[in-house]
A and B are shown apart, each in its own frame.
Chain A
Amino acid sequence: MELFLKIANKGTIEYMLLGAGTSLMVAIFSLFFGSVLGLVSAAMKMSKSKILRGIATVYVEIFRGTPMMLQIMIFYLCGPIFTKFLFGFVYTPNPIIVGIFAVSINSGAYITELFRAAIQSIDKGQWEASKTIGLNYFETMRYVILPQSLKRILPPFVNEFIVLIKDSSLLSTIGAVELLQTATVLGGKYYNYLIPLSMAAVMYLVMTLTIAHFARKLERRLAESD
């Protein structure tokens, strides 16, 4: 107990909360950019053009088929080499920005499949009815298909958000100061890993359980119009 109070003082808790904030921010940004990417690539995957379908399929398969940690490392460690080769300049990568970039692209691959499955689960009669009242493809998507898909996508989407909060811990490997990183730093400082790591676990749980709780509430609200 005495040891716990010594380690869990105001300064360390603030430090870790800052780390938790960074984790949350990485997850939110990645979910946002991943959704944009996922929506575009889902539309490509369902398009009539073989080339667009091909590009989207290659993207999804590559990023779902390799470890996220590897992807993060390639973007962080090899990014400057690529830009030198392609555009002739190098830069010093910021681990958080590169991390958001990598996690977004990875998440986009998973979200592609979420969107595709949800959109294709809508009865084709909805497309036909939209056509008979004169809506074109984009209008049908915007007003008829997506609103119904979003309701179906919500549960796996929240799940993806929770996964991203946990996966953001992988950014500690490239030195981003997120929640796990703050815990290991404190562990090294106090020669005690049990307490900071346990505190990190509690903070992760608070975040993930809170999100799951609100998601359930929202789902129930949305279910009312069914």
Chain B
Amino acid sequence: MIKAEHISKYFDKFKAIDDVSLHVKKGEVICIIGPSGSGKSTLIRCLNGLESPEEGTVTVNGTVLDYKKPNDVTKICSQIGFVFQHFNLFPHMTVLDNLTLGPVVAQKLDKAECEKRAVELLRRVGLEEKKDAYPSQLSGGQKQRVAIARALIQAPEVILFDEPTSALDPEMIGEVLEVMKELAEAGMTLLVVTHEMGFARKVASRVIFMDEGHIVEDNTPSEIFDNPKSDRLVDFLSKVIHM
């Protein structure tokens, strides 16, 4: 579905990801864990064209991304949902318009039809009654659920999450993780950069541990958490799992 082959990404001299290969298959729920600055976010941003790696190739549904044609990249990558840490909802639009903007403007679909679908999706994330609200009137957890609905209306085959709960107050994390868990159970392919180890252990089918721009371990959750092989993963887990 998405295949990254030997990609490297530099920010000036700094090598954020270093010769990483990753193959995301249909139906997988992959969690990427690792310390800050290990290249987790950069990796998933490369997978949907938000960053262009200097080396290596990214293939989405059989098409190699050609960064010299940004409009083509955007078109291909709009089949990939993306949820940001800071939501990035459009503040000047209602929740409903946030959802329908993509399908109506970019895909030129019928507006009434899109609104119907948008309301259904809002119901799915439990926010149907907020359809006419503006993002500023929502809590962080609600914003992130709207952002997930906005990703879903693109009818994506895979959704990438970039630390979806890191900007939330603790009491709102659960509601967002719950929506993500439901998506996973419904068979959606997910790729989640997260610090929520409980979520990674329970929901993921595969966990990837990254450090210093490399994939250090790539295994099932139980192997990663109960039987870590590298010293770095042991060290990382001892720091993040406090009790």
Contact = CB atoms under 8 A, between A and B. Distances in A.
Interface in B88-140: 88-92, 101-102, 105-107, 134, 136
27 contacts: A125-B84, A125-B88, A128-B82, A128-B84, A128-B88, A129-B82, A129-B89, A129-B90, A131-B50, A131-B77, A132-B48, A132-B50, A132-B81, A132-B82, A132-B151, A133-B102, A133-B154, A134-B75, A134-B154, A136-B74, A139-B105, A139-B106, A144-B101, A148-B90, A151-B92, A225-B92, A225-B134
Nearest to A148: B92
A75 B105 CA distance: 43
B136 to A, nearest CB: 6
Contact of A131 (B49, B92, B101, B151): B49
Interface string A125-154: 110110111111101000110011001000
A147 B84 contact: no
B238 interface: no
Contacts of B77: 131-132, 134
A226 interface: yes
A226 B151 CA distance: 23
Interface string A211-226: 0000000000000011
Contacts of A147: 92
Interface of B: 48-50, 70-71, 74-75, 77-78, 80-82, 84, 86, 88-92, 101-102, 105-107, 134, 136, 150-151, 154
B202 to A, nearest CB: 27
A132 B134 CA distance: 20
B166 to A, nearest CB: 14
Contacts of A135: 74, 101-102, 105-106
B92 A128 contact: no
Nearest to A225: B134
Contacts of A126: 88, 90
Contacts of B154: 133-134
Contacts of B101: 133, 135, 143-144
A151 B136 CA distance: 16
The A interface is mostly helix, strand or loop, or mixed, namely helix
Q: Which of A126, A134, A135, A139 has the most CB of B within 10 A?
A: A134
B237 to A, nearest CB: 31
A128 B49 CA distance: 10
B126 to A, nearest CB: 21
A125 B41 CA distance: 14
Nearest to B80: A132
A160 B88 CA distance: 31
Interface in A105-126: 123, 125-126
A144 B50 contact: no
A108 to B, nearest CB: 26
Contacts of A133: 78, 101-102, 106, 150, 154
Contacts of A132: 48, 50, 77-78, 80-82, 151
Contacts of A143: 101, 105
Contacts of A134: 74-75, 77-78, 102, 106-107, 154
Nearest to A132: B82
Interface string A197-209: 0000000000000
The 7 closest A-B CB pairs, nearest first, are A134-B78, A133-B102, A134-B106, A129-B88, A125-B88, A132-B82, A147-B92
B106 A148 contact: no
B98 to A, nearest CB: 9
A99 B70 CA distance: 43
A55 to B, nearest CB: 23
